[in-house]
Structure 1
Amino acid sequence: MSFILSTGTDIFVSPTSGSADAAAPPAGAGERGRVAAARAAISSCRMKRPEFRPEGGRMAGVKDVGDLMHRTFFRTLSLLGSRGQGALLRRYFDWWHRNPDPWHMGTDAYEQAKYAATLAQIPDRPYGRILEVGCSEGVFTKLLTEAYPDADITGLDISERALSRAAERVEKASGRTRLLAADILTFTSEHRYDLVFCAETLYYLGRRDRLRRASEQLAGLLGPGGVLVLVHPWPEARRLHRFVHASPLSQVSERVETTARRPFSVCVYQARPTGSTGAA
């Protein structure tokens, strides 16, 4: 398939707002009204990951109904305050993980190929402390323990139910693996990391200000010279990664897989080394 850098934003447009980002709460809208709207979305939607399908060598401009529901659902949740959004996301993902491996991450050939592509993009050097944001049930976390057997690895997810399964998956590496239930928008850490992953996560945050906040959080978790790896659907990755791209981090590489059944981008950034006053 040809590599198309289309500037069209129609594939990101909200079916109600006409904007690529979730609309801000209406002026004067109270928290009670926003909560009611979010609950209505929960009761009417069933989530799936967004699908971008190739058509005739170009990305499809019209999303299927499931994708529209997916985006409307999470944009609606983002009308809440960050704490309310986090609480509802926590409940929702605990519900979604009522059955093991709901996205078939441990068995699906596409997911396995994406993990391999991600690992291949990481700069070849030692990493002492690694963080995976949105680790879910720990499929990629386990791969990290195998790829970096001497590293201290932390998996972060908003769903405690998912983390309980992740704990079983990485049990043999439990001495150097920590699993934390937390929201990336509010997460604080006494540590800085040499390597941070965030995959298939940012599109759940909805509004522009939440995406900016998450990007600031991710960049702030890096130690000097630390590496950030973002993995999201293409071409939506251009929108999801834009605040990181505009940050002081330097982009090291980007790998775009357009021929996968769900095209994706693996983008690698690096923080400035200690004492650096310019780009890394």
Structure 2
Amino acid sequence: MHSVLDRCHRTLFAVLSLLGVRGQERLLHRYFDWWHRRPDPWGLAVDDYEQFKYATTLRQLPARRYRRILDVGCSEGTFTHRLAAAHPEADITGADISERALARARAAGPAPRFVRLNIVTTPPEGRFDLVFCAELLYYLGRARQLRRACAHLTAAVAPGGLLVLVHPWPEARRFCAYIEAEAGFRLIAEHVERGGCRPFAVSVYEAAGAADHRAPRRPAEHGRRTGRGA
């Protein structure tokens, strides 16, 4: 069932992307505001699969200090607030296209900070040590929009910083290819969760530092047991 729904979902957003960047932005804004007419429409705060995915994502991060963190496509801020709990010393920003979602995210507490952003049309302000983009890129449709979004994502990463993509597997490989086409980024960790009916991948990219001349390396792929259900 998930695979059928996913195919319908991808077809819909591929068609929307034919409207051009501005037309697509207007429709996506309305679409996500409509979805957020009620709180937590996808059950991100309570669904076991989502909680497992959040925990799996955080486990892939290198143990280092992150001063500025950005969560792109944050919805109502469920993962963003989890980041704030895990990194209380960091300046954390959540960004989303839906004003309704952002209003609920802000209502949950004075921090993190939440801003409206369409990653296709507008790059984030400033640069960050850690940038997340989860379950977002498949909404963008055509290659043109994906290239723009990924260029904006990589531009937001400070030298030596990390960009983390989290998307369904094996579709995630298609999105990762756009990041790998950007100069100065190397894959340092990738976890593929193959269990259950909703496999996903967490891919961690590191931006070159000011004096980083190391040759890129591709890590071994890791996966958990295959018996876990969603």
Q: Return the TM-score normalized by structure 1.
A: 0.74
Pick aligned residue for 2:31 from 87, 92, 101: 92
* Per-residue Cα deviation, 1:8-37 (whole angstroms, up to 9, x for no partner): xxxxxxxxxxxxxxxxxxxxxxxxxxxxxx
**In structure 2, what is the equivalent of residue 141 of structure 1?**
80
**CA distance in 1 between partners of 2:125 and 2:53 (Å):** 31
| 1:155 pairs with 2:94 | yes
Pick aligned residue for 2:42 from 81, 84, 103: 103
SS at match of 1:105: coil
| 1:185 pairs with 2:124 | no
**CA distance in 1 between partners of 2:150 and 2:76 (Å):** 23
**CA distance in 2 between partners of 1:67 and 1:261 (Å):** 12
How far apart are 1:208 and its partner, in Å? 0.9
Q: Contact conserved, 1:137 with 1:163, CA < 8 A, in 2?
A: yes
SS at match of 1:254: strand
**CA distance in 1 between partners of 2:31 and 2:205 (Å):** 31
Pick aligned residue for 1:198 from 133, 144, 151: 133
How far apart are 1:276 and its partner, in Å? 2.9
CA RMSD of superposed structures (Å)? 1.5
Q: What runs of 5+ residues in structure 2 fail to find an aligned partner? A: 217-230
User: Bigger radius of gyration, 1 or 2?
Assistant: 1
**CA distance in 2 between partners of 1:193 and 1:279 (Å):** 23
Mean Cα displacement is larger for which, 120-129 or 189-198? 189-198
**In structure 1, what is the equivalent of residue 164 of structure 2?**
229
Q: What runs of 5+ residues in structure 1 fail to find an aligned partner? A: 1-49, 52-62
**In structure 2, what is the equivalent of residue 67 of structure 1?**
6
Q: Contact conserved, 2:45 with 2:51, CA < 8 A, in 1?
A: yes
How far apart are 1:233 and its partner, in Å? 0.2
How far apart are 1:187 and its partner, in Å? 2.0
**CA distance in 1 between partners of 2:214 and 2:16 (Å):** 39
The one-letter code of the counterpart of 1:87 is R
The one-letter code of the counterpart of 2:186 is S
Overall identity of the aligned pairs, in %: 55
| 1:123 pairs with 2:62 | yes
Alignment of 1:262-273 (within 5 A): 262-273=198-209
Q: Contact conserved, 1:132 with 1:154, CA < 8 A, in 2?
A: yes
SS at match of 1:78: helix
**CA distance in 2 between partners of 1:109 and 1:123 (Å):** 24
How far apart are 1:279 and its partner, in Å? 4.5
**In structure 2, what is the equivalent of residue 207 of structure 1?**
142
Q: Return the TM-score normalized by structure 2.
A: 0.89
**CA distance in 1 between partners of 2:151 and 2:74 (Å):** 19
**CA distance in 2 between partners of 1:154 and 1:188 (Å):** 14
**CA distance in 1 between partners of 2:203 and 2:43 (Å):** 23
**In structure 1, what is the equivalent of residue 211 of structure 2?**
275
**CA distance in 1 between partners of 2:68 and 2:215 (Å):** 23
* Per-residue Cα deviation, 1:181-209 (whole angstroms, up to 9, x for no partner): 11001223441100000000000000011
